[in-house]
């Protein structure tokens, strides 16, 4: 019995997958992507979208980790306990006001739909992030997919060379119980793109290592012919394809004009949003951008962070429209929960009872403020929307079948959107 066979018999499934991943890193000299090769790279027949929805061919998911303050952004209040450092200003849609920290987005309100009546039952960061990314609450023994993985599952892979979903900045739970081929690809620094993943050796030596890796993968997979292991070991075959010059350039924001890069701003959030637009242009279906924290404002309101949100998001929407992409690209801005009225430290604490979400493009009608929170911003007052309703709304816009049963962990049935009700009234 050779060493490979003995090793494979001693490992459980997760250990085998991790082992193959580690071998790829050590042998090939690259950082393994979080998605695998295999059937995700194969030609896939893409079914037509179901009736209704389907206008959002792409999604850019702007995530504000930490609990974005709704009363200092999309839902300003006049109550003295809740007002804080924020004034309400008029937008270009009569009757709709937003925070004075967002003057650029105020001029684009006719393209936006703001849901002011979101609520959740989860008031902790980890649980809230998971819920907002999957539409499901955390459950022991089960990992649920994010919307990018659901979309690839139903609609197929649409680009042979690029991943179907990308996460810029981290924080996404990934493919859940789907296999590795539906996992999003992580990008840490938008300014570097995937340069840190490139081989740190000459191409001839890299090719030699690929041949060694192929030989190892063949013997390893022969002893344990499991689909998950195959997905990871097929990384060897896909590595050469992925590091094609055209693929690398798709992740390179320096290919954009200096004027446009400056317009997005030199912050990580700004360059991440620019990268998201660029990836959508190159047929990546789903891109998440994280603002990398700063929204957990217990001890004061960071109005500079809100100013940055305003400038970057307004530029992204304007850029998508100028490129003729906004009609088919939905932009979603959300957080795990909202904030309370001003506390004794001049900040705001966690509040799952009410918060706001913004959507634009992808069939959204624009000029809409849906639902209300109470005068203090603590609770939903009218037309409540749940997290699963939001997920169903995005999934409906993408043309995903909300009523199609999919079996996940332990054979249990799951549905994209978790049987929520899509908010179809906010679409044109």
pLDDT digits (tens, 9 = 90+) for 96-105: 999 999 999 9
pLDDT score recorded for residue 30: 46
Give the pLDDT confidence of 117-161 residue by residue, as tens digits.
999 999 999 999 999 999 999 988 889 999 999 999 999 998 888
- pLDDT of 169 above 70: yes
Give the pLDDT confidence of 396-408 residue by residue, as tens digits.
999 999 999 998 8
- Residue range 257-285: mean pLDDT, rounded: 97
CA atoms within 13 A on the CB side of 18: 5
Nearest-CA neighbor of 354 among 332, 386, 326? 386
Secondary structure element (H or E) that encloses residue 114, with its range: strand 112-118
Beta bridge partners of residue 350, listed in sequence order: 339
Looking up tokens 């119980």 gives 177
- How far is Cα of residue 365 from the mean position of the Cα atoms in its chain? 22
Q: Distance between CA 90 and CA 247 in Å, rounded?
A: 43
Q: Distance between CA 94 and CA 209 in Å, rounded?
A: 64
Give the pLDDT confidence of 339-366 residue by residue, as tens digits.
999 999 999 999 999 999 999 999 999 9
Give the residue extent of every domain in the chain: 52-197+258-426
Secondary structure element (H or E) that encloses residue 330, with its range: strand 329-334
Nearest-CA neighbor of 264 among 206, 317, 338? 317
pLDDT score recorded for residue 245: 72
Give the length of the chain.
428
pLDDT score recorded for residue 423: 96
Give the pLDDT confidence of 371-386 residue by residue, as tens digits.
999 999 999 999 999 9
Dihedral Cα 420, 421, 423, 425, nearest 10 deg: 170
- pLDDT of 84 above 70: yes
Lookup: tokens for 218: 């063949």
Dihedral Cα 128, 129, 133, 139, nearest 10 deg: -60
| 285 neighbors 151 (Cβ within 8 angstroms) | yes
* DSSP per-residue codes, 254-278: GGS-HHHHHHH-SSHHHHHHHHHHH
Give the pLDDT confidence of 203-231 residue by residue, as tens digits.
666 566 666 666 666 666 666 555 554 55
Read off the pTM. 0.84
The fold of 52-197+258-426 is Alkaline Phosphatase, subunit A (3.40.720)
């Amino acid at each position: 019995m050779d060493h490979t066979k003995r090793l494979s018999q001693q490992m459980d499934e997760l250990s085998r997958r991790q082992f193959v991943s580690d071998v790829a890193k050590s042998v090939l000299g690259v950082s393994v992507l979080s998605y695998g090769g295999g059937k995700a790279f194969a030609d896939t027949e893409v079914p037509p979208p179901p009736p209704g929805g389907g206008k959002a061919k792409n999604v850019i998911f702007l995530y504000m980790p930490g609990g974005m303050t709704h009363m200092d952004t999309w839902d300003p209040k006049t109550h003295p306990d809740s007002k804080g450092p924020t004034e309400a200003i008029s937008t270009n849609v009569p009757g709709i006001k937003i925070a004075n920290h967002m003057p650029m987005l105020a001029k684009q309100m006719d393209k936006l739909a703001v849901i002011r009546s979101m609520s959740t039952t989860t008031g902790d960061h980890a649980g809230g992030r998971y819920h907002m990314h999957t539409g499901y609450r955390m459950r022991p023994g089960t990992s649920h997919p994010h919307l990018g993985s659901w979309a690839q599952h139903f609609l197929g892979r649409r680009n042979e060379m690029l991943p179907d979903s990308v996460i810029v900045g981290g924080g996404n739970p990934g493919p859940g119980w789907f296999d590795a081929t539906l996992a999003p690809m992580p990008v840490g620094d938008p300014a570097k793109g995937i340069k840190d993943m490139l081989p740190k050796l000459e191409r001839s030596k890299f090719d030699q290592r690929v041949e060694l890796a192929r030989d190892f993968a063949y013997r390893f997979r022969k002893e344990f012919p499991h689909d998950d292991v195959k997905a990871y070991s097929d990384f060897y075959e896909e590595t050469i394809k992925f590091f094609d010059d055209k693929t690398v350039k798709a992740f390179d924001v320096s290919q954009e004009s200096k004027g446009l890069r400056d317009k997005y701003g030199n912050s990580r959030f700004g360059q991440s949003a620019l990268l998201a637009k660029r990836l959508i242009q190159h047929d990546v279906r789903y891109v998440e951008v994280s603002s990398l924290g700063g929204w957990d404002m217990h001890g004061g309101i960071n109005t500079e962070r809100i100013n940055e949100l305003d400038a970057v998001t307004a530029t992204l929407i304007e850029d998508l429209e100028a490129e003729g992409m906004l009609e088919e690209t939905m932009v979603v801005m959300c957080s795990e929960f909202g904030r309370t009225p001003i506390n004794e430290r001049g900040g705001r604490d966690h509040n799952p009872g009410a918060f706001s979400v913004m959507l634009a493009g992808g069939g959204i009608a624009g000029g809409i403020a849906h639902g209300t929170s109470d005068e203090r911003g603590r609770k939903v007052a009218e037309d409540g929307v749940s997290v699963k309703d939001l997920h169903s709304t995005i999934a409906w816009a993408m043309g995903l079948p909300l009523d199609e049963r999919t079996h996940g962990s332990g054979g249990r049935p799951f549905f994209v959107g978790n049987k929520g009700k899509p908010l179809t009234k906010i679409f044109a």
